[in-house]
Amino acid sequence: MSSIGVLLCQGGQALREAGIEGARQEARLLLGHAMGATAEDLLRDPRAEVPPEAATRFHSMLERRMAREPLAHITGFTGFWTLELEVSPATLVPRPDSETVIEALLAEDISPQRILDLGTGTGCLLLAALAESPRASGVGIDLVPEAVALARRNAARNGLGDRAQFLAGHWSDAISGRFDAILSNPPYIESDVIAGLMPEVARHEPDSALDGGADGLDAYRDIVARLPCLLTEGGRAFLELGQGQAPAVSALAREAGLLVRGERADLGEISRVLILSKP
């Protein structure tokens, strides 16, 4: 049998050679998942022997990661905000950049009662918003039925199933009424750029959640046209943006009769969220 320390060294080296950033940390996450152990367990005694069946699982997962399958797809889960979420190839893997949407919502201090999430995927935005707004309820919409089922499981997993409803549909076609906060991370990658993205994205994440059309703005055109009929008086919409898209999406919003209240940058100082309201 091999020890924890030996497997971590072998795994880290293999992932580095495959071009994986943070190779040592990812090797630790994979080994912990294979053993059903925490990071603290692994660090406590690096010389401890790893059971053969756990070592076999580790090597299998290592091969998948070296082939550039996303880490979250291999483990089946990822963290977002304060939540642990199940993930699948039916949706995007939630990213730290998207947490900027939740930061922007909290900074506006509007105490929403009804929240809408357009293109909900895993449910990450709606569920994080509900976790921070204990009196609110919300609706998440996704075109992909598998994503809707996944979001429902995530709501139950995080104790939010009684306040979150998930529906399959095209943007807001399946709902009626108005909302105090509308969240969306729509597809915003230009169609001809997708094939050149990092392999974890281009090969393993759904085009329907990435492809924003020739200029990356197709989804925004549809969404902003709907917002005046969806927002309450005093409500806010928070749209996640791709790099450099703030001016174009702001122009679309103004054409739809919306007020651009501001932008919020992510940790990389990229303008990541556009904040809109009725005039």
Report pLDDT digits (tens) over 195-211.
Answer: 999 999 999 999 999 99
Backbone angles phi, psi at 236, to 5 degrees: -135, 145
Give CA angle at 102 (96, 104), nearest 5°: 110
Q: How far is the CA of 253 from the CAs of 76, 199, 220, 258, in angstroms?
A: 37, 33, 9, 5
Question: Which CATH number does 77-277 carry?
Answer: 3.40.50.150
Cα(31)–Cα(12) distance, integer angstroms:
11
Report pLDDT digits (tens) over 48-90.
Answer: 899 999 999 999 999 999 999 999 999 999 999 999 999 999 9
Give me the amino acid identity at 51.
P
Closest CA to 88 of 146, 145, 36, 34: 146
Cα(265)–Cα(186) distance, integer angstroms:
17
Neighbour count for residue 141 (Cβ, 10 Å): 25
**How is domain 4-67 classified at the architecture level of CATH?**
Orthogonal Bundle (1.10)
Report pLDDT for 40.
80
Q: How far is the CA of 22 from the CAs of 11, 15, 174, 191, 240, in angstroms?
A: 12, 9, 42, 29, 26
- Check whether 37 has a pLDDT greater than 80: yes
Please tell me whether the overall predicted TM-score, pTM, comes out greater than 0.75 for this model. Answer: yes
Please state the domain extents for the chain.
4-67, 77-277
